[in-house]
Structure 1
Amino acid sequence: MTGPAPLRVLGRASSINVRKVLWTAVELGLPIERVEVDVRSEAFRQLNPNQMMPVLLEGGPGVATPWGEVSFSLWESNAICRYLALRERREDLLPTAPRRRAQVDMWMDWQAGDLNNSWRYAFMGLVRQSPAHQDPALIASGVSQWNRHMALLDAQLLASGGPWVLGQDFTLADVVLGLATHRWCAAPIEHAALAAVQAYYERLCERPGFVLHGRDAGP
């Protein structure tokens, strides 16, 4: 009797998007191997034409790659997290009820779009020390927008009536927003006073997957 197909995620440990997948795997109890990769390589480009990490590889008879034979591959971190939850039939993390599922998707999409774009310039300049992101006015604007978006999360946490983004149940929305919260807390910026976000961060620190791939893994 064969076991489940092995899972690998290609990408750097410092990538917040790779960490989403690794933390999701912890919540699901799934063994997963992270593999360093050159995103500029032709082999990687064949898997993801965007040449961005992460890429999920599921082993099994299929396509030969430098990382073994692959029956299925997938890019885009939020899509990977959703796939793994569906694969394991974890309706607590990714509900099937249409309205509840839409709410989880809404907050995951907000994180990947609006929230990520708000912090990108300031984070690259202040944390990654990128020479291309050192304009003081743009950094200040980025910090302001970052705080403004985190205030929206603060308001949602207050309105949800529970410890998590959507209330009593921990979902994939908390995985992606939890890592975004860690990045905000760890960044060397002037932080808005957001008590609900701070309490949320403390609750996240009770989850082993967050401790491993969030709190203890750098900004």
Structure 2
Amino acid sequence: MLRILGKRQSINVRKVLWACDEIGLDYTQEDWGAGFRPTSDPAFQALSPKGLVPVVVYGDAVLTESNTIVRYLAARYGRPDLLPVDPVERAQVEAAMDWQATEFNTAWRTAFLVLMRNRPDAGTPEQVEASITEWTRMVALLDGQFADGRAFICGATFTVADIVIGLSLHRWFRAPIPRPDFTHAAAYYARLAERPAGRAYMAATYD
């Protein structure tokens, strides 16, 4: 059975859990990380010297990096709806996932750590304000993508890109910050919350 190592409070672990639920996989999830078993434990380090969650163990395979794991699961279990086979369509999904892992995540990191994780050491008030500004710009870009009437990031079909971007957007809607009225992004968020596999992750109170 698939083993997922990492606590549910981690957004990157939730990416993998949501992907498994979309596919309908059986798995076990083990709590590792701050507040649980430390990732400095030799048993964890033997699997992932980076000491980061999630880690997926499946037979002899050990996989790390959440976006990579999500793509692996969709490919491994033959879900071209979640990860297209066509090279151009697949590249579009992967480009959206890369954007989430770089620009989107980088934008909200400081504000999130200070305001939602209560880490005042993570940034000055000026840095928090700059983070909120850039975070808002990223969501504005996202909002604009839906102006053409598409339902999901890459068109009419839900893909793994929607999992990773949806979870980042969840943080936006839960953050104690001023939010412009991005109607397209809000409607997209609501669509994700209606999915049976995504409902638990969109409704989660942990961030």
Band of TM-score, shorter chain: over 0.9
Residues 125 and 131 in structure 1, CA contact (< 8 A), matched pair in contact too: yes
Q: CA RMSD in A?
A: 1.1
**Does 2:76 align with 1:87?**
yes
Distance 2:69 2:3 in 1: 11
Distance 1:190 1:175 in 2: 24
Distance 2:24 2:143 in 1: 29
**TM-score, structure 1 as length reference:** 0.89
Unaligned segments of structure 2, at least 5 residues: 33-37
What's the CA shift for 1:131? 3.1
1:57-72 paired onto structure 2 within 5 Å:
57-59=57-59, 71-72=60-61
1:162-173 paired onto structure 2 within 5 Å:
162-173=150-161
SS of match in other structure, 1:179: helix
Unaligned segments of structure 1, at least 5 residues: 1-5, 60-70
In proportion to residue count, which structure has more strand?
Answer: 1
Distance 2:203 2:147 in 1: 23
Distance 2:49 2:147 in 1: 40
Residue in structure 1 matched with residue 104 of structure 2 by the alignment: 115
**2:10 alignment partner, one of 11, 15, 18:** 15
Distance 1:9 1:157 in 2: 33
Residues 192 and 202 in structure 2, CA contact (< 8 A), matched pair in contact too: no
Length, aligned pairs only: 202
Residue in structure 1 matched with residue 30 of structure 2 by the alignment: 35
SS of match in other structure, 2:198: helix
What's the CA shift for 1:205? 1.2
Name the larger-Rg structure: 1
4+ long deviations beyond 4 Å: none
1:1-219 paired onto structure 2 within 5 Å:
6-37=1-32, 38-59=38-59, 71-159=60-148, 161-219=149-207
1:185 maps to a residue whose letter is F
Distance 1:146 1:208 in 2: 28
What's the CA shift for 1:214? 2.8
Distance 1:153 1:33 in 2: 33
SS of match in other structure, 1:208: coil
Distance 2:188 2:206 in 1: 18
1:203 maps to a residue whose letter is R
Distance 1:163 1:81 in 2: 21
- Deviations along 1:121-148, one digit per CA (max 9) or x if unpaired, are 0000000001312511111111111010
SS of match in other structure, 1:43: helix
Distance 2:88 2:73 in 1: 20
1:107 maps to a residue whose letter is A
Distance 2:102 2:48 in 1: 19
Distance 2:93 2:9 in 1: 25
Residues 14 and 217 in structure 1, CA contact (< 8 A), matched pair in contact too: no
